[in-house]
Amino acid sequence: MHQEQCSRVFTDKMSGKRFDRPEFLKMLDIARSGDVIVVWRLDRLGRSLKQLIETVTMLGERGIELRSLKENIDTTTSTGKW
pLDDT of 32: 96
Q: Which fold has domain 33-80?
A: Rossmann fold (3.40.50)
Calculate ∠ Cα 66-69-75, nearest 5°: 25
pLDDT of 7: 84
Calculate ∠ Cα 82-2-71, nearest 5°: 30
Domain boundaries along the sequence of the chain? 33-80
pLDDT of 9: 85
**For every one of its 82 residues, what pLDDT tens digit does the chain have, with 9 covering 90 and above?**
455 678 888 887 765 555 568 888 899 999 999 999 999 888 888 878 998 999 999 999 999 999 999 999 999 887 766 5
Tell me the whole-structure pTM to 2 decimals: 0.78
Q: Dihedral sign, CA of 65, 30, 7, 42?
A: negative
- How far apart are the C-alpha atoms of 27 and 80, rounded to whole Å? 22
